[in-house]
Chains A and B, each alone.
Chain A
Amino acid sequence: DTAVSQTPKYLVTQMGNDKSIKCEQNLGHDTMYWYKQDSKKFLKIMFSYNNKELIINETVPNRFSPKSPDKAHLNLHINSLELGDSAVYFCASSQPGTGGITEAFFGQGTRLTVV
């Protein structure tokens, strides 16, 4: 049973389109994240939600809008896709603890290619 699952795994789309990536976790965690991994493998946090509330919103274009209908789901909608949005997007979940989070579990990633 997959702990953190994302769909789709691959997404190829044209510039200007709008697309969504879905994420679900069955670990009972309170916190969920979206990370972007660029072509150089650098992982950058985009958003974090805790119990459906946005708690971290890094410098991300307004075209990216996360939505958390409940604490087990965190979706990412991207409007007007640009070539520079091509990357692998990872969803993750964790529980808070002393000194920060205890451990983050990651989904398989969604490879987004904008052509």
Chain B
Amino acid sequence: AQSVSQHNHHVILSEAASLELGCNYSYGGTVNLFWYVQYPGQHLQLLLKYFSGDPLVKGIKGFEAEFIKSKFSFNLRKPSVQWSDTAEYFCAVSSDGGKLIFGQGTELSVKP
């Protein structure tokens, strides 16, 4: 069965620090990959997505992610975080069958 694993449960950074959140998935076939963000008390919003092509994808708000097929990974990065990036971040995977499976989420706290 498909599964998604996020390495970090809670990450605490100071403003201007660089961010990398790990995500690994288990599925042998073709997948679509996503990162979603959930700001406190709000719904999920798409940060970026990967379907095919260039494995380095850029999203909104300066986020990017790299798909490494051999490692089944899709890590999220941002060179310099801001206090407003404080949120919960979810990696998600979909495959044929229409199911979107989420990782456990990573809580990011950015100290001003």
Q: Give the interface of A toward B (CB within 8 A).
A: 31, 33, 35, 40-45, 48, 50, 55-56, 90, 92, 94, 96-109
Contact = CB atoms under 8 A, between A and B. Distances in A.
B43 A108 contact: yes
Interface in B36-84: 36, 38, 42-46, 49, 51-52
Interface SS of B by simple majority: strand
Interface string B68-103: 000000000000000000001010111111111110
A103 B43 contact: no
A111 to B, nearest CB: 9
Interface of B: 29-32, 34, 36, 38, 42-46, 49, 51-52, 88, 90, 92-102, 104-105, 107
Contacts of B42: 108
Interface SS of A by simple majority: strand
Contacts of A94: 98, 100
Contact of A99 (B30, B46, B105, B107): B30
B35 to A, nearest CB: 12
B105 to A, nearest CB: 5
A103 B34 contact: yes
Contact of B98 (A31, A42, A43, A109): A31
A98 B32 CA distance: 8
